[in-house]
Structure 1
Amino acid sequence: MKTGVMFMSRKRNGGRNMDPINSPKHYKMHKMETIDNIQNSMTHDEFVGYLKGNIKKYLDRYGDKNGIEDLGKAEWYLKKLIEVEAK
Structure 2
Amino acid sequence: MSALDTQIGGDHYKSMPIQPIEVMREVLTKEEYIGFLKGNIIKYSMRAGKKEGASDDADKAAHYRQFLAEAKGEPTNGLLDLPVIDMGAGRD
> For this structure pair, what is the TM-score category when the shorter chain's length is used for normalisation?
0.5 to 0.7
Q: How far is 1:34 from its partner?
A: 1.4
CA distance in 2, matches of 1:64, 1:70: 9
**1:70 matches 2:57:** yes
**1:31 matches 2:17:** yes
Could you tell me the TM-score, scaled by structure 1's length? 0.67
Unmatched runs of 5 consecutive residues or more in structure 2 = 75-92
Higher relative contact order (CA 8 A, sep 6+): 1
Structure in which a larger fraction of residues adopt strand: 1
User: Aligned runs of 1:15-26 on 2, under 5 Å?
Assistant: 21=8, 24-26=10-12
CA distance in 1, matches of 2:26, 2:37: 13
Runs (4+) of structure 1 exceeding 2 A deviation are none
User: Aligned runs of 1:23-62 on 2, under 5 Å?
Assistant: 24-62=10-48
Aligned length: 69
CA distance in 1, matches of 2:63, 2:18: 18
